[in-house]
């Protein structure tokens, strides 16, 4: 069973002024050919170039690469937040995209209300949230603060709430984008343990600059550079290639 | 269209959660709480009665001006609140759009849902007014079962269209308050449709809210059968606007996360 398949995927972002943004710019762009100015070329950024790979059920794929390599774009394509210009993306099952913890939490609502809201955003049914409610509250250690608006929470409590709901949302595919650094030491340990228990039976795609965490959790690693896959393979091999390449660039620089 | 509906159905609990959130956050920080839903149409009724009812002596037919204007302000306020919030809903939730997958129409739909809740609250006052002014109610009020859904469809369609345009062209949001102001005067809220000179009536009735708002007033406090010609035009137009609006939204939805 292959929950994630990328086939010849190309993703382009348009960055031109006037295509979308402000109506007044779009209108002036339409008018400018008449006024004699030449039409400016449409600036684009090719985030992914003809990328193909697969992630089988139970595999944990770590993605590493420089900033701007296209790592977050891959996560966005898997979770259907954006769509490719060409090629095919297949991702089956419930997807838990932990691309930013707490996206959708509203500061006026209480912790309790936000658990239900955030759970719903992550795709959980209300019944499911009710059943897991106590577990979520205990994991996040916010039992005493449940009925206070979260605008009064500390940033640690806020992150714990977010992570806790995510931890129990039980997706088939887990997408993680560098969000593991929350809470104090104890909580971090809890999170890492929870992440590793996820690894059993689920499919994970994990983006991080923390190479130790990548080596720890991944069953295979992909090195991405400027939209192209440089290497996919055993974590140790790919990570050392990445380190060598980065070092070389640093020296040249 | 079927895929969209079934996908939205999959996320029905999220739609409910979002609508609940919209309602709660609107009232959490206000002293009046739910009173805000009633304050807007009530305050407008007061000022319109003074200016248009008393100063300008606009005719209100067989009923006193206050309930004449409130009966139209009720559906109108629903429309303008839903549009004002709905048009901005996707952009305001931009953080979610770039991070989590769900059918994006959940956002404008929840704005429409929250506005509908306000409408229901304000209807309670309307019923009290009907008792107070002893207006005649007859079976024609059952027409509300087609009028109100049509208003819902039209409002949703416009919400979807405007929220899409606002994502693509961010300065559109400045036009919306002006648009609502103009639309208020183009709809028979302060006046009655039969006060419009015959040569302009046809043009004015192109606005679907004309048939719907006038119909709403006719069947609730005037006990009249609505003008079927204008009303059926409004109903059909509402349906068309909804379908086109939904289609337009879903077509552009794919690039929302890239553009927000």
Residue of B nearest to A83 (CA): B254
User: Token pair for residue A207?
Assistant: 């983006």
Q: Both tokens of residue A208?
A: 């991080």
Task: Tell me the count of A-B CB pairs closer than 8 A.
Answer: 86
pLDDT of residue A36: 44
- Residue A98 tokens read as 């932990």
- Check A121 against B21: CB less than 8 A apart: no
Compute the distance between CA of residue A231 and CA of residue A242 in angstroms, rounded to an integer.
9
If contacts are CB pairs under 8 Å, which of residues 58-97 in chain A contact chain B? 76, 79-83, 95, 97
Residue B34 in this model has a pLDDT that exceeds 80: no
Question: Which chain A residue lies closest to B93 (C-alpha atoms)?
Answer: A104
- Per-residue CA distances from A40 to A27, A29, A63, B61 (Å): 14, 9, 36, 61
pLDDT, position A35: 47
User: What pLDDT does A97 receive?
Assistant: 77
Whether the CB of A40 is below 8 Å from some CB of chain B: the reply is no
pTM score: 0.88
**Would you call A24 and B171 a contact, using CB atoms and an 8 Å cutoff?**
yes
Q: Which residue of B has its CA nearest to A127?
A: B13
CATH value of A4-93+211-252 in 3.30.413.10, 3.40.50.300, 3.40.228.10, 3.50.50.60 = 3.40.50.300
Question: With an 8 Å Cβ cutoff, are B170 and A117 in contact?
Answer: no
Nearest CB to B258 within list A82, A104, A123:
A82
Residue of B nearest to A109 (CA): B25
Q: How far is A113 from chain B (nearest CA, A)?
A: 9
**Considering only alpha carbons, which residue of chain A is nearest residue B15?**
A120
Backbone Cα Rg of chain B: 19
Determine the residue among A72, A79, A81, A124 to mutate to test chain B binding: the one whose Cβ has the most chain B Cβ atoms within 10 Å: A81
Instruction: Take residue B33 and report the two structure tokens written for it.
Output: 């709480």
Which tokens is A134 given? 């106590």
Angstrom distances, CA of residue A24 to CA of A15, A32, A96, B169, B171: 16, 12, 39, 8, 8
Query: Tell me, what's the pLDDT at A155?
Result: 80
DSSP letters spanning A165-185? HHHTS--SEEEEES----S-H
Identify the CA nearest to B18 among candidates B91, B87, B114, B95: B114
Cβ pair B101:A79 closer than 8 A: yes
Q: Would you call A26 an interface residue with chain B, using a CB distance cutoff of 8 Å?
A: yes
Q: Which residues of B touch A113 (CB under 8 A)?
A: 21, 24
Q: Which residue of A has its CA nearest to B95?
A: A103
Q: What is the band of A194 on the pLDDT scale with cuts at 50, 70, 90?
A: confident
pLDDT at A227 over 70: yes
How far CA B153 is from CA of A7, A240, B47, B85, B218, in Å, comes to: 40, 59, 30, 16, 20
Residue B171 near residue A23 (C-beta atoms within 8 A): yes
d(CA B119, CA B149): 13
pLDDT at position A170 is 82
In tens, the pLDDT along B171-210 reads 889 999 999 999 999 999 999 999 999 999 999 999 999 9
Share of chain A above pLDDT 90, in %: 32
**Torsion angle of alpha carbons A194, A158, A148, A136, nearest 10°?**
-10
| Distance from the first to the final alpha carbon of chain B | 25
Per-residue confidence band for A202, with pLDDT thresholds at 50, 70 and 90: confident
Residues with Cβ within 8 Å of residue A212, at least 6 apart in sequence: none
CB spacing of A103 vs B96 below 8 angstroms: yes
| Contact indicator for A54, A220 with CB cutoff of 8 Å | no
Domain residue spans in chain A? 4-93+211-252, 107-167
Interface list for A 102-141 with B (CB within 8 A): 103-104, 106, 108-109, 113, 116-117, 120-123, 125-126
pLDDT at A179: 60
Q: What is d(CA A50, CA A10) in angstroms, rounded to the nearest whole number?
A: 5
């Amino acid at each position: 069973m292959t929950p994630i398949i990328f086939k010849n995927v190309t993703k382009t972002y348009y960055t031109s002024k006037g295509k979308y943004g402000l109506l007044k710019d779009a209108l002036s762009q339409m008018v400018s050919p008449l006024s004699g100015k030449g039409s400016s070329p449409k600036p684009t950024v090719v985030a992914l170039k003809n990328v193909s790979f697969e992630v089988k059920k139970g595999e944990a794929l770590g993605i590493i690469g420089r900033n701007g390599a296209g790592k977050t774009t891959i996560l966005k394509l898997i979770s259907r937040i954006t769509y490719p210009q060409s090629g095919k993306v297949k991702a089956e099952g419930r997807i838990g995209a932990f691309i930013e913890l707490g996206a959708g939490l509203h500061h006026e609502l209480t912790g309790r209300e936000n658990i239900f809201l955030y759970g719903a955003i992550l795709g959980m049914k209300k019944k499911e949230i009710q059943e897991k409610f106590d577990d979520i509250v205990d994991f996040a250690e916010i039992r005493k603060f449940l009925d206070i608006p979260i605008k009064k929470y500390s940033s640690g409590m806020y992150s714990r709430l977010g992570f806790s709901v995510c931890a129990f949302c039980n997706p088939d595919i887990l997408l993680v984008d560098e969000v593991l650094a929350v809470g104090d030491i104890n909580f971090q340990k809890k999170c890492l343990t929870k992440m590793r228990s996820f690894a059993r039976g689920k499919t994970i795609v994990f983006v991080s600059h923390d190479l130790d965490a990548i080596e720890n959790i991944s069953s295979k690693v992909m090195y991405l550079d400027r939209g192209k896959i440089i290497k996919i393979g055993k974590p140790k091999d790919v990570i050392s290639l990445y380190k060598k390449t980065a070092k070389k660039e640093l020296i040249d620089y | 269209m079927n895929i969209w509906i079934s996908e939205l159905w999959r996320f029905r609990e999220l739609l409910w959660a979002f609508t609940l959130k919209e309602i709660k956050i609107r009232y959490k920080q206000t002293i009046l709480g739910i009173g805000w839903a009633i304050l807007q149409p009530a305050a407008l009724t007061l000022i319109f009665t003074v200016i248009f009812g008393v100063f300008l002596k606009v005719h209100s037919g067989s009923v006193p001006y206050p309930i004449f204007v409130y009966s139209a302000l009720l559906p109108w306020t629903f429309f303008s609140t839903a549009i004002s919030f709905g048009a901005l809903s996707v952009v305001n939730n931009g953080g979610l759009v770039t991070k989590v997958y769900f059918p994006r129409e959940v956002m404008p739909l929840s704005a429409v849902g929250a506005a509908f809740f306000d409408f229901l609250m304000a209807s309670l006052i309307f019923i009290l007014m009907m008792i107070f002014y002893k207006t005649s109610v007859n079976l024609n009020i059952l027409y509300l079962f087609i009028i109100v859904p049509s208003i819902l469809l039209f409002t949703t369609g416009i919400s979807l269209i405007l929220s899409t345009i606002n994502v693509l062209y961010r300065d559109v949001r400045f036009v919306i308050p002006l648009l609502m102001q103009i639309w208020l005067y183009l709809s028979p809220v302060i006046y009655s449709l039969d006060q419009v000179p015959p040569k302009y009536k046809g043009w004015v009735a192109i606005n679907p809210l004309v048939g719907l708002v006038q119909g709403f007033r006719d069947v609730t406090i005037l006990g009249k059968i609505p003008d079927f010609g204008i009303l059926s035009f409004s109903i059909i137009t509402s349906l068309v606007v909804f379908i086109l609006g939904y289609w337009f939204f879903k077509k552009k939805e794919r690039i929302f996360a890239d553009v927000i």
